[in-house]
Structures are given as C-alpha cells and as structure tokens.
Amino acid sequence: NRVSGFSLTTKHERMGPIEEKKDSKSASVASYGIVPTKSVVDLLF
C-alpha cells in the first residue's frame, strides 16, 4: 500500500503547480524519511 500511495502521490505532484509540487515533495520526504533516489531526482527535475 505504501508504494502504491507514493506512486499516486507522485503522479498528483507532477500534475499540480510547481509551488504545490515543492511543498508536497518536502512533505513526502519528511513523511517517508527514506525515498528512492530516482524518485527524488525525478521530482527535482
């Protein structure tokens, strides 16, 4: 469930505004603590 939720959140972040995307990204990192490097890089770029 965690992986699925993270995937859906990632898709939502990509569709959302840049500012909202940054906030969501920070929240995701804080919540999960351990985030795949590829996902972080993809969110940043």
pLDDT tens for the 45 residues of the chain, in order:
455 555 555 555 555 555 555 566 666 655 555 555 666 666 665
Nearest-angstrom CA–CA distance, 6 and 12: 10
What's the structural domain count of the chain?
1
Expressed as residue numbers, the domain containing 6 is: 2-44
- Helix extents (H) in 2-36: 2-15, 18-32
Does the predicted TM-score (pTM) go above 0.95? Answer: no
Given a contact cutoff of 8 angstroms between Cβ atoms, the answer to whether 25 and 43 are in contact is: yes
- Count other Cβ atoms within 10 Å, centred on residue 28: 19
